[in-house]
Structure 1
């Protein structure tokens, strides 16, 4: 395992990066605003699940394919953008249903929110490239197997990010809970979520390998 003296800079860097608003945090806020605290927590853990996959791919070198293959990068980001547009469409449909028959609008199951968060994260190649670029900076080859150190560092980074997203969820839920009771405001929250998903899709579609 990496030396403790090398872990402190990693902790500081990881926390600073996880506190920086990004696509994952934006997704969690959108889910929390429309369905509440439990939905945001489910989405946060779904994102964590996706990060586990990216960490494993980085540890075993698979993420390097995205870093060196333009075709693979474009394929993954196109799939991710399409999936985000699909989520935007679902949010608009939910808003329309809320407007016409709010009493019949069932909440999205938590397992589905977990799965959507995980798929959204996995289909973002920028996450894979970031993990591939960030974690090796704190690896010490003399301290043991590199792949094991990457898994260890990736797990710590993921825990930090999940804690931050959960705190963001609690904060967002406290503010949005007072608003969702109104059918009109709830409908606009769904529309806002759809706009967020479209924005994330455009951001992903325009992403470049760096």
Structure 2
């Protein structure tokens, strides 16, 4: 098992580490697609759904960190065909999520039945796929993490992994905060079957909007 001294070898110098933490917090302070996704999940299905979505998203982000650390992320960045393939797979998945949500609302309204909450594993898996199928996350880590690698420390791969995991932990804390806050309003917004359907329509629209953003940017 690695000792604390071994772990220290893979951390950047203190000034670089403090700069990394500050830059990470500034980056995370601006709500992005991940926050929109988490808020939509929490609002539509409650705090637990939002937190499970956060867990899924950050698991997907961890995959990107590991991929970037071993160099596969650079391959995606240099290959327009591979980049576009992953990007359009992500767009298709978001469109599917939005369409599924809207169809659930329509079916529930037609049957005069209440909406069924997605299962926990589905919420988690959706979050993983939404993040994994976003090549821009890989590009972000490739551009962001190497700026804080110390040449006089241990191997660059170890530093990239540790910095990436630190960023993921910070992102999880920020996203979880939004999930909890949105979950507080969820109970009021879902007080009746009609309001729950309205929230689900908005949620489906958010997924489709995220897909449109992924196409435009």
TM-score exceeds 0.5: yes
TM normalised by structure 1 equals 0.95
| Residue 159 (structure 1) aligned with residue 200 (structure 2) | no
Work out whether 1:10 is the aligned partner of 2:2. no
1:177 CA displacement:
1.5
**1:146 & 1:13 partners in 2: Cα distance?**
19
Residue segments in structure 2 that go unaligned for 5+ positions in a row: 1-10
Secondary structure of 2:189's match?
coil
In 2, Cα distance between equivalents of 1:111 and 1:192: 23
In 2: Cα distance, 1:80 partner to 1:3 partner? 37
Q: How does 1:27-176 map to 2 (within 5 A)?
A: 27-101=37-111, 103=113, 105-176=115-186
Aligned-residue offset at 1:185: 1.4
Structure with the greater alpha carbon radius of gyration: 2
- Conserved? CA contact 1:99–1:183, under 8 Å: no
Equivalent pairs counted in the alignment come to 207
If the length of structure 2 is used for normalisation, what is the TM-score?
Answer: 0.92
Structure 1: how far apart are the matches of 2:187 and 2:28?
25
Q: Give the secondary structure class of the aligned counterpart of 1:32.
A: helix
For residues 101 and 4 of structure 1, the distance between their equivalents in structure 2, rounded to whole angstroms, comes to 61
Gaps of at least 5 residues in structure 1 are: none
Q: Distance in 2 between matches of 1:29 and 1:119?
A: 17
Q: Which residue of 1 aligns with 2:213?
A: 203
Give distance in 1, aligned partners of 2:174 and 2:79.
32
- Secondary structure, aligned partner of 1:143: coil
Q: Higher mean Cα deviation, 82-91 or 105-114?
A: 105-114
Report the aligned-residue RMSD. Answer: 1.2
Asked if 1:184 is matched to 2:194, the reply is yes
